[in-house]
Amino acid sequence: DAGVTQSPTHLIKTRGQQVTLRCSPKSGHDTVSWYQQALGQGPQFIFQYYEEEERQRGNFPDRFSGHQFPNYSSELNVNALLLGDSALYLCASSLILLSYSGANVLTFGAGSRLTVL
Amino acid sequence: DQQVKQNSPSLSVQEGRISILNCDYTNSMFDYFLWYKKYPAEGPTFLISISSIKDKNEDGRFTVFLNKSAKHLSLHIVPSQPGDSAVYFCADAGGTSYGKLTFGQGTILTVHP
């Protein structure tokens, strides 16, 4: 089982540019969530996708958008990059049924490290 | 909004001794709390969870305690091993937003041989 895979591992962008990060969920999972982890902080929830729709969203501006494909994989897009967007972006997958049980055990990928110069 | 705080940025423990990691939260809704462990260059991995209707949950060397009156939870690792050295995050699964986790800032645990 490959678990959650993310690409690219590292990337460097300049202010104002746009970036797309990709995620393949763990086999059998149908829900993908994205988190931003700034240096020295815990992961912060960006949004969650299920059935190709955004189901929940955290306190992130509209510059952050996403997509889920029929095979459950997902993309995170960030437009008009700011220096403050530099962070580790984590993708996590889960099964929607377990989400409602309260034991929301997410499986995380290793992340994409974004540096904005 | 729920806030989850880990006030100790780091903890250093001798191998074989107990490690105690602490976490405080603000809202008293029905919640599920989870602990995740993160090694460098890896994603967080699930460790143990506890429902807010319980006071304690145990899994091998790991025990989580929940003090609802103090809005406090703690993770005990006994005995601590050098392989336990990692960043530990507590997270709240939320009372109405089970799809979203609210994480604390993390505590770096170092277990010395």
B21 touches chain A (CB under 8 A): no
Q: pLDDT category, B65, cuts 50, 70, 90?
A: very high
Backbone angles phi, psi at B18, to 5 degrees: -85, 140
Amino acid letter for position B35: W
Of A104, A109, A111, the CB nearest to B99: A104
pLDDT attached to residue B29: 67
Q: pLDDT category, B2, cuts 50, 70, 90?
A: confident
Mutation target to probe the A interface, by most A beta carbons within 10 A, among B31, B100, B102 is B100
Q: Which residues of A touch B41 (CB under 8 A)?
A: 110
pLDDT attached to residue B99: 66
pLDDT attached to residue A101: 60
CATH number assigned to the domain comprising residue A21: 2.60.40.10
**Domain range for A36:** 5-116
**Beta-ladder partners of A108:** A92
Residue B108 has pLDDT above 80, yes or no: yes
Q: Which residues of A touch B106 (CB under 8 A)?
A: 40-42
Residue B26 CB: number of other CB atoms within 10 A?
12
How many cross-chain Cβ pairs, A to B, lie less than 8 Å apart?
Answer: 78
* Structural domains for chain B: 4-112 (2.60.40.10)
Q: Per residue in B30-60, pLDDT tens?
A: 678 999 999 998 999 999 999 888 999 999 9
| Segment (H or E) for A99 | helix A96-99
Q: pLDDT category, B96, cuts 50, 70, 90?
A: low
Q: Would you put residue B25 in left (φ > 0), alpha (ψ -120 to 50) or beta?
A: beta
A65 touches chain B (CB under 8 A): no
Q: How many domains does chain A have?
A: 1
